Chain A
């Protein structure tokens, strides 16, 4: 059938659920990655209104998003990856490195590494945040312009503008 095959992580979340629905509506095929098999029934019910043919929606289970080898084994024929799975501000583990940083980095690097070994993958989309361009402490600066030109940036590197 027409449409590309897209592998999506974080599909059970707020943004991810909308993304799966819109991707299906656009006529693509979606391979949803879930961490637990028990999620499949609920997500099937959530996404099925946007499914037009039976082969448009499928699920794979990867309990550990940082397991690149396991992720890679589920990327057969995948052309695009939408990676949305990442810790939220209210992480259950309050430790910065183990509750926030490492899960975010490990998941992303595993997806990238798996994609690098999958010749069918054309593009990878990773959801970050505008916060990635904002020095800490600037979020509430009135009218702060997100352009990398504030004094909290280094001025010495060769890539400065």
Chain B
């Protein structure tokens, strides 16, 4: 079932300058109307965020094509980033949005988002690798998808049930849950040398931190 957002009028195509050479070639040709009506509330926030990411990347492509700067540009495109949150100091402080969505999905039994998660350590590693990664000198912009191994909620639930019985989890390893979208991790692996953390490593990293907070709080 496709849960597409509803619009007050059909999207129309916004002209964009021709995309510069890049393998995905996708962003400049996606139909989107910046003047469309967005849903209100939290659902609207997600759609607005998605639309802003699309249009902002298109603006980046356009800027590069128009300005032809001396530097090389690398754009990183992660899926849902989760894991140990260096900004969170206790269970009482707000943590990373996607981490809270994972915990909420587990507790409710209903996925808040597709199960295509990527470990924050892998996203970070892609930044460090960007310093030395081999780039095609003829291509001014290199897009890197960061999607990791294909995670899914069944695999996440299996880890939680096996290792974290104290974490509220109505999800099951049998599921079934909708299959998440599929990205292309080829460039991240081959040219940026990313070795993805496994589902277990990623989920454990997230939950170990949360359990640590609870223990310190005497919960």
Contacts and interface: CB of A to CB of B under 8 A. Distances in A.
A33 interface: no
B181 A145 contact: yes
A11 B114 CA distance: 27
Contacts of A17: 86-87
Contacts of A18: 83-84, 86, 120-121, 123-124
B87 A88 contact: no
A116 B67 contact: yes
Interface centre among B27, B72, B87 (most CB of A within 10 A): B87
Contacts of A159: 18-19, 25, 28-29
Interface of B: 1-5, 11, 13, 18-19, 24-32, 34, 38, 40, 42, 44-60, 63-64, 67, 69-79, 81, 83-87, 95-97, 99, 113-114, 116, 120-121, 123-125, 127-128, 130-131, 135, 143, 145-147, 178-184
Interface residues of A, number: 74
Contacts of B69: 112, 115-116
Contacts of A129: 50, 53, 77-79
B29 A154 contact: yes
Interface string A102-146: 001100110011011001011111111111111111111111111
A4 B46 CA distance: 36
A105 B1 CA distance: 32
A19 B213 CA distance: 23
B45 to A, nearest CB: 5
Contacts of A77: none
A153 B26 contact: yes
A133 B77 contact: yes
Contacts of A125: 73-76, 127, 130
B9 to A, nearest CB: 14
